[in-house]
Structure 1
């Protein structure tokens, strides 16, 4: 079925997530979507989308952008390694929806491998298990990330269809290190604060590393599966 799952561009947060998706694209035969590494966080991403000289490649109306990466769980229903497809993102009482047709096609391709979820986007790292559960309950959100709402708001305004697929890297039962200070203003990671944050909470850091490695492996696998299944 031609054009069943056309994807023009894949956006992935820079660093380990981007590398995992690159590995997933290795060995794929035929054409692959344009792969773009994006900054971490809401403000750096918005600045990048507004100012990047190369953003014309994914600002073509009716084009399709797939955002991939990892996320944190706000619900007992989703645990480390689970694949989730966003229906929408909320931020400070506002909501942005993913493209329904695109999302339904992604869901169909992945059959039972992915859950449809509602997401919260945060401008800081949500590290406390208690806060995760509280946010999940009060906002009826399943997962949290730091880029989804910004991307949807930007692309929805210019008529670009967006789907968001992520893999859960940390659950809502355990704290992770507070790494907010390790994210630079340009959306890159600063190695020294990152290391210090990990050392201050070694048990939480070990759990985060283990969960991230699991999630990144699943992200690599689902990338390979999706791109091999899509029909251009």
Structure 2
């Protein structure tokens, strides 16, 4: 592992993504960064980060890696691909990941990861046609629901951020609209989640398969990234 400044914290959306990262770290010996489960969505995440800042977390100088899964907006990226963000756009605004930190991570896992531009959305992008349209019009490669908020917050606080994710759904197929299953606190509501899946069984099956594959890759890349790495 290159001689990084200490990576203090891994932030990862709560639920299956958080569990995958924890599994990836379970066999790592020595000290590892703190893993923090964050809420889903822009507003819940901002509220959480503001409260955490008030409690003295995430103080500069420090380095934070945000991990998880994302959706593809381009034919170039498909399920299971590992991507490292250069920046995130939202509503005509752009926030950059820390260039030095990102370059160091990229050189360490080069050949296994692609540098991408990301779109952050305040809702799930479900239809394949909308994914491709957004990718073309905004020149974005992938989409998530937290990236821009996290970058805006940490850039203002002087905290170096890199964002490493795994693609869980491609831009060739629809996925179920599960936006209504996300509670106002950023947690998932099981009943609307199940109903959303049942309404579109084929899309749901494809989403589940893609999620399982991407979560396994997320676990593997976490282990590979932090094996042998200890905070100094």
- TM-score tier, shorter chain, comes to over 0.9
**Moved beyond 4 Å, runs of 4+:** none
Displacement after TM superposition at 1:230 (Å): 3.8
Over the aligned positions, Cα root-mean-square deviation in angstroms equals 1.4
Decide whether aligned partners of structure 1 residues 55 and 42 sit closer, same or farther in structure 2, where only a CA change above 3 A counts.
Answer: farther
CA distance in 2: counterparts of 1:53 and 1:158, whole angstroms = 9
Aligned match of 2:42: 42
Aligned match of 1:26: 26
Alpha-carbon contact 1:5-1:105 (below 8 Å) kept: no
Displacement after TM superposition at 1:2 (Å): 6.8
Displacement after TM superposition at 1:53 (Å): 6.9
Displacement after TM superposition at 1:52 (Å): 3.1
Secondary structure, in 3 states, of the residue corresponding to 1:57?
coil
TM-score of the pair, normalised by structure 1: 0.96
How many residues align? The count is 231
Alpha-carbon contact 1:79-1:170 (below 8 Å) kept: yes
Alpha-carbon contact 2:77-2:167 (below 8 Å) kept: yes
Aligned match of 2:15: 15
CA distance in 2: counterparts of 1:174 and 1:117, whole angstroms = 20
Q: Which runs of 5+ in 1 are unaligned?
A: none
Q: Which runs of 5+ in 2 are unaligned?
A: none
CA distance in 1: counterparts of 2:62 and 2:116, whole angstroms = 23
Q: How does 1:50-65 map to 2 (within 5 A)?
A: 50-52=50-52, 56-58=56-58, 60-65=59-64
Q: Deviations over 1:110-144 (max 9, x none)?
A: 12000000000000000000000000000000000
Displacement after TM superposition at 1:67 (Å): 0.2
